[in-house]
Structure 1
Amino acid sequence: MENQELPPAFDQALAGFGRYLTAERARSGHTLRAYLSDVRSLLGYAASEGLTDLPGLELGTFRRWLGEQSQAGISRSTLARRSATARSFTTWAMREELIGTDPALRLKAPKAEKSLPGVLQSGQLLRLLNSLEEAASGGAPLPVRNRAMVELLYASGLRVGELAGLDVDDLNPDRRTLRVIGKGNKERTVPYGVPAALAVDDWLRRGRPVLAKDHSGPALFLGSRGNRVDQRQVRAVVKDLFEALGDTSATGPHALRHSAATHLLDGGADLRAVQEILGHSSLATTQIYTHVSVERLRQSYQQAHPRA
């Protein structure tokens, strides 16, 4: 259904919505593809019901579209995202006067499952970082780079896309801060600690110069051919590290972000400070980490309090 040919009016609307997301909402490539895939799915479903233009869309169309996906076993979090995308699409279509009324205005999204993020224990992190330091000690550029990337991911709580997008001049070594361009092209300044600073300095001195080519530009982290490192390469490095660790359910670079946030809160950091560091637009997003920290607090209380 999602790959079927759409009626011309639907196809034009999809293209227009894509231009809007790119030009006005500054969405990332990954987010843009997800949004357009969701809308294509919706319009493909509407076309399968015989509709050929946007004014024919009604609330029931959206509900049946989501209902069919729910029966197919699509997760509630994905359904919630697709519901939100559908509302964004009809809001845009109203603004563009492609429809006279908003059929998705009363569309209710299913509540997404609340799950606690995977977090590495301090001992696990120490083992992981020690293994990186040992691998980098030989001086080969890729192990030196990998150590710097992982140290920086954990030290600063960066998203993997933010890490890959860093340029050399985004670093302020004197203040040990990073200039980060996050979601929606929002800029923030993020601190990092001494171990990360040493690892990054090592990469800049004896790793990056070996891999840098004329086409490398200002990219901080490079691949073996001198191109800017991409998210897939970073994910592969972290995946291998976690598999070698062996005793964690954490997966992917986001687990380092989760760990940084949780350990900051465990250490007494203010929730709003953690929000700023992570680049969350809403404090509610940051609050999921308090659940992890509160669970640890409860365990400590039960172990230490005489009347626990």
Structure 2
Amino acid sequence: MASDAASAHDELPARLAEHLDAYAEHLRLERGRSEHTVRAYVADARSLLGHLATDTPDAGLGDLDLRAMRAWLAAQAASGVARSTLARRTAAARTFTAWLARTRRIARDPGIRLASPKSHRALPAVLRQGQAAEAMAAAESGAAQLEPVAVRDRLIVELLYATGIRVGELCGLDLGDVDHDRRVLKVLGKGNRERSVPFGGPAAAALDAWLRSGRPALVTADSGTALLLGKRGRRLDQRQARSVVHEVLEAVPGAPSLAPHGLRHSAATHLLEGGADLRVVQELLGHTSLATTQLYTHVSVARLRAVHDQAHPRA
């Protein structure tokens, strides 16, 4: 989120600030963006308008041109903002100016000509397949005594690794989203896009144990239809899921410290290493762009290169 960029510009002139609420409603209602995304996009728009107001005190929306947008990005780059963050904020600014032009708040869209800084995308850390197996075994061992929270924790890591779903998607699952016969989850992803994701036998066993002995012990009047529950019976939140993943991976010697997204990265990488088609992995992960999924082919190649360099006598 761009709160750091926006903090210096909380007080915008009314002639500029009045458009932000309408922009937020557009993102929320017309584009179907999550509240987190809406906050981030509005913060970037506020930052842009704040720079405009600082640079030109009497400026209105009509003064928002390409020069002003480039100056805004240059100021952030000079303050040490990472290239990847600049690229994301550039995209957010273009979304904002496109909306301004479409709603005739400005005569033409200056964002069309705003170039995005090239980000140097780092390869994500992933588990080796053996480490993933050890993590699942550690979670299963912890659940052996049928303590409800341990049974739930096993299901959390099994589902994250088996399906590659996002932690928000995991926490949003309801009981009715599980097709037990076909071993398929109905997942609501980014942009309210729905997809079906299969899971295997170990995850099915963890799910059965949770529904049989875990969830009934935690369920309360506040549980509703949530599949996964916290200790107090409410829907599991993302922070709890992250803590579970960190704790499980701490039991695996040499494993990197990963968040739930690391299990998603690991699942995608292992699928491709096992021969899965790139477009199938794209569909499973819910990526709108194949280019996003292609990152995992680079992960696989990088790991092959590391093994080759270590093992081959003429590397």
Tell me if TM exceeds 0.5. yes
Tell me if structure 2 keeps the 8 A contact 1:2–1:40. no
Tell me which of 19, 22, 44 is aligned to 1:13.
Answer: 19
Tell me which of 233, 239, 252 is aligned to 2:259.
Answer: 252
Tell me which of 180, 185, 190 is aligned to 2:192.
Answer: 185
Counterpart of 1:278 in structure 2 is: 285
Tell me if structure 2 keeps the 8 A contact 1:51–1:57. no
Q: Take 1:234 and 1:220, find their aligned partners in 2: how far apart are those partners?
A: 13
Q: 5 Å matches for 1:1-308?
A: 1-49=7-55, 50-245=57-252, 247-298=254-305
Q: Take 1:3 and 1:202, find their aligned partners in 2: how far apart are those partners?
A: 52
Output the TM-score relative to the length of structure 2.
Answer: 0.92
Q: Secondary structure at the match of 2:195?
A: strand
* 1:166 CA displacement: 0.4
Instruction: Label 1:51 to 1:224 Cα distance change in 2 as closer, same or farther (>3 A).
Output: farther
Q: Take 1:183 and 1:177, find their aligned partners in 2: how far apart are those partners?
A: 19
Post-superposition CA distance 1:170-201 (Å, at most 9, x none) = 00011000101101001100010000010011
Q: Take 1:302 and 1:127, find their aligned partners in 2: how far apart are those partners?
A: 26
Q: Secondary structure at the match of 1:178?
A: strand
Output the amino acid matched with 2:294. Answer: Q
Output the amino acid matched with 1:198. Answer: A
Q: Take 1:270 and 1:92, find their aligned partners in 2: how far apart are those partners?
A: 37
Q: Take 1:44 and 1:175, find their aligned partners in 2: how far apart are those partners?
A: 53
Tell me if structure 1 keeps the 8 A contact 2:138–2:251. no
Q: CA RMSD in A?
A: 1.9
Q: Secondary structure at the match of 1:218?
A: coil
* 1:202 CA displacement: 0.6
Identity of aligned residues (%): 54
Output the TM-score relative to the length of structure 1.
Answer: 0.94
Q: Take 1:301 and 1:86, find their aligned partners in 2: how far apart are those partners?
A: 43
Aligned length: 308
Output the amino acid matched with 1:47. Answer: A
Instruction: Label 1:245 to 1:51 Cα distance change in 2 as closer, same or farther (>3 A).
Output: farther
Q: Secondary structure at the match of 2:101?
A: helix
* 1:75 CA displacement: 0.7
Q: Secondary structure at the match of 1:20?
A: helix
* 1:117 CA displacement: 1.1
The unaligned stretches of length 5 or more in structure 1 are none
Q: Take 1:246 and 1:37, find their aligned partners in 2: how far apart are those partners?
A: 41
Output the amino acid matched with 2:241. Answer: V
Instruction: Label 1:154 to 1:73 Cα distance change in 2 as closer, same or farther (>3 A).
Output: same
